[in-house]
Structure formats: C-alpha cells, structure tokens
C-alpha cells in the first residue's frame, strides 16, 4: 500500500469544488500540495497558506507555456513530483436543445482545454513522475463521458471527457511500471459550478437509486484510495450514485 506522506501532488483547478476538496484531503494525509487555478489567485494563495505544506501556482492547462511552468516551479520548490490530479477543465451549456447550435469554435475550445490541456500538463509531468517510481496520474472526468443519458449541458463536454477516459487507458498502458493512471468519472457533485444545473440535479435526485446528488468528499475519498491501492491501473471509476444502472 502506497503512503501519501511527503508525496508531492499537483492538483489543477483546485481553488474550489472538487479540486479544493482533493487538495485538502491529500494534505490531510501528509502530501505536499500545489494549488492551481487560472483566476481565483487570492483564494489560491489563501488556501495554500492554510494547508500544512503547500504552494500556489497560477496557470492555465490550456496554455502550453503555463503547463511547463507549473511543473517546473513544482520541481524547483519541492524537488520532486509524485501525483498529478488533472481536475481543471471547462464546460459549456448549449444555447438551445438543438445540438447543431454548437459551433466549431465552441467545440474546439472545449477539446483544446479539456483534452489537449490535460495531455499537455501530463506530458510535462511524466518524466518527473517516472523518477518518483510510484507516480500517479488521476484524471477527473465525468459520467457524461461514459453514459450519454447523464449529460444535459453540452455534447462537446461529454466528448471531451470520453477522450480523457481513453487517454487514461493509453497512459496506464504506456507509463508503467513507474506510473499508474486512473480516472474518476463523477456524477452530479454539488459545487459552486453545478448549483445552477437544475435539469441535471433533478435528474440525479429522481433517477439514481440513491435519490441524491454527490458531494466533493465522495470523489476525494476515491482519489486517496486509488493512490494507496497500488494495483489499480487503467480504470475509469464511475461515482454517480448508480445513475448508469437505470
């Protein structure tokens, strides 16, 4: 069983919601944390100061230079990198119920940010994760990337998350034995981002066997479990309250 004590983790998009909860949970388990966001700079600095051993690095995964800098600053400060949690990403709601309303520009924006951005920072991190010998890549995707019935906001978002699920499989195959790669695919988790997703919230409250939405801790507990259980590799783990079963 792997331990988190003195491991160094980058958690992208970690100043609110699931990302913030993951950063706090990893810190509580002894890891050193890199907090990251594009905006919310003051919130990020405050959160880093509140954790036991953490720093804040501003940057966007959608910008190649930022990806390089985030990893470089992590290594310069902590001297190592053991865990990369790819939580940052964008979503977009359709202007109408007609999927044809989504433009090429909108589709490309989500693919570039969510897929290419995730790949970019992962690519920069891989050499350092290999040096760790116990490296972990954990991609936070979405049930919408697995089950089309669960998506209600954007076909492009769903496609981007499906692509990251497939990327996870490739990483697991090609980065071992020094690195494991897994993904967690949440259902509707109540965060500031989802509080206005009335259609999706109602769908999960009425159609899942558990008759409720999830909380950030439902995801963070799995992140810790994946890191500690060192024979899990290449898995896409649905955490959706059983929505996919109905």
3-state SS record for the chain: CCCCCCCEEEECCCCCHHHHHHHHHHHHCCCEEEEEECCCHHHHHHHHHHCCCEEEEECCCCCHHHHHHHHHHHHHHHCCCCEEEECCCCCCCCCCCCHHHCCHHHHHHHHHHHHHHHHHHHHHHHHHHHHHCCEEEEEECCHHHCCHHHCCCCHHHHHHHHHHHHHHHHHHHHHCCCEEEEEEEECCECCCCCCCCHHHHHHHHHHCCCCCCECHHHHHHHHHHHHHCCCCCCCEEEECCCHHHC
Which domains, and CATH codes, for the chain? 8-238 (3.40.50.720)
Catalytic center residues? 157
The pLDDT, as a whole number, for residue 99 is 78
Confidence of residue 15 (pLDDT cuts 50, 70, 90): very high
Per-residue confidence at 47, pLDDT binned at 50, 70, 90? very high
pLDDT digits (tens, 9 = 90+) for 121-171: 999 999 999 999 999 999 999 988 987 765 555 788 899 999 999 999 999
Percent of the chain having pLDDT more than 90? 71
Residue 1 has pLDDT above 60, yes or no: no
């Amino acid at each position: 069983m792997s331990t988190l004590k003195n491991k160094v983790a980058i958690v992208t998009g970690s100043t609110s919601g699931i990302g913030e909860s993951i950063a706090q949970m990893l810190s509580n388990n002894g890891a050193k944390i890199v907090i990251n966001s594009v905006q919310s700079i003051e919130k990020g600095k405050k959160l880093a100061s509140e954790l036991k051993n953490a720093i804040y690095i501003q940057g966007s995964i959608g910008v190649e230079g930022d990806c390089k800098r985030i990893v470089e600053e992590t290594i310069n400060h902590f001297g190592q990198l053991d865990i990369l949690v790819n939580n940052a990403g964008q979503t977009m709601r359709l202007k109408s119920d007609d999927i044809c309303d989504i433009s090429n520009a909108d589709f490309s924006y989500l693919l570039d940010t969510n897929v290419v951005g995730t790949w970019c920072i992962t690519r920069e991190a891989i050499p350092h994760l290999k040096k760790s010998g116990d490296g972990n890549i954990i991609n936070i995707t979405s049930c919408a990337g697995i089950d089309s019935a669960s998506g209600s906001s954007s076909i492009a978002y769903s496609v981007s998350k499906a692509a990251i699920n497939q990327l996870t499989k490739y990483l697991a195959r090609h980065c071992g034995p020094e690195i494991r790669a897994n993904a967690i695919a949440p259902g509707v988790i109540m965060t500031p981002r989802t509080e206005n997703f009335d259609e999706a919230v109602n769908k999960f409250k009425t159609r899942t066997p558990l008759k409720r939405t999830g909380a950030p801790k439902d995801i963070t507990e799995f992140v810790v479990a994946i890191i500690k259980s060192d024979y899990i590799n290449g898995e896409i783990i649905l955490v959706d309250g059983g929505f996919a079963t109905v």
